[in-house]
Structure 1
Amino acid sequence: MTNPHLPAAPATDPTFTPPSLGRRFGALIIDWVLCLLVSNIFGGSIQHPWLTPTVLVVEYGLFLGLFAQTPGMYITKIRCVNWHDGGRIGVPRGLLRGLLLAVVVPALIMDEHRRGIHDRLADSVIVDAPRR
């Protein structure tokens, strides 16, 4: 049974069109700058180069798992949802997606739905955020 108030799951929606790469990249830049600011509070990324990517992974895990959006995604009006049902991906898969995104290479190899390897392994997809 489907909920008429929720959009169709991206995997089963023949009209699904992913957001532009520009919006995705913009969200990543915003999130990266926020992670740099946070990591500088905890000792700086110069002394601890692993700190900023770690903050990014934690940010993705918590924000995607709980809210389906990072702060950068909120600003660029996109969200990350489950590929098969359109719901939240949860904290463990958010952490996995963030970890794989920190590696960068998986994000460069995309399919026709602009799902990188990190999205396919986390069973996620980036979609337009609903307008309020």
Structure 2
Amino acid sequence: MTTPQLPAPPATDAGFVPPSVGRRFGALVIDWVLCLLVSYFFADPVRDGWAPVVVLIAEYGFFLGLFAQTPGMYITRIRCLSWADGGRIGLVRALLRGALLALVVPALIMDGHRRGLHDRLTGSVIAPVPAPTADQGR
């Protein structure tokens, strides 16, 4: 039995191709709708605009920190990884990333790897979920 070789971290992978802005935006829209629905349990999101933002930051902290994907990212087949080593970014960096994303402006300024300021400040990158291989079913 052989151990599968882990993919190269995005920072050192010359062939790294980030997902499209459309997939990222689609994931964000799905997550935002979920945040609006959840915030209805404790506030009126129309009147209390802070409620869905707080839920979004908490969602990012929990899901990105533990699973590298929010529900929207799962549906659009993207994930958030550490730029340096390709692993999960952890709870603290995920919360910081969510707070920076809530500011909106950092997300609009991207580099060649489609990393917004919120990604660069937290050492993260959005990457596509690899397609399953035939070996994964064994």
Give yes or no for TM over 0.5: yes
Distance 1:130 1:62 in 2: 22
Distance 1:103 1:27 in 2: 17
Return the TM-score normalized by structure 1. 0.95
How many residue pairs get aligned? The number is 130
Q: Name the counterpart of 2:13.
A: 13
Question: Stretches of 4+ moved more than 3 A in 1?
Answer: none
Cα offset for 1:4?
A: 4.7
Report the residue type matching 1:95 in the other structure.
Answer: L
Q: Which has the larger radius of gyration?
A: 2
Distance 2:77 2:6 in 1: 17
Give the SS at the match of 1:52.
helix
Report the residue type matching 2:79 in the other structure.
Answer: R
Distance 2:85 2:54 in 1: 29
- Structure 1: stretches of 5+ with no match in the other structure: none
Q: Name the counterpart of 1:87.
A: 87
Deviation per CA, 1:10-46, whole angstroms, max 9, x where unpaired? Answer: 0000000100000000000000000000001112212
Question: Are residues 1:104 and 2:118 paired?
Answer: no
Deviation per CA, 1:62-110, whole angstroms, max 9, x where unpaired? Answer: 1000000000000000000000000000000000000000000000000
Identical pairs, percent: 68
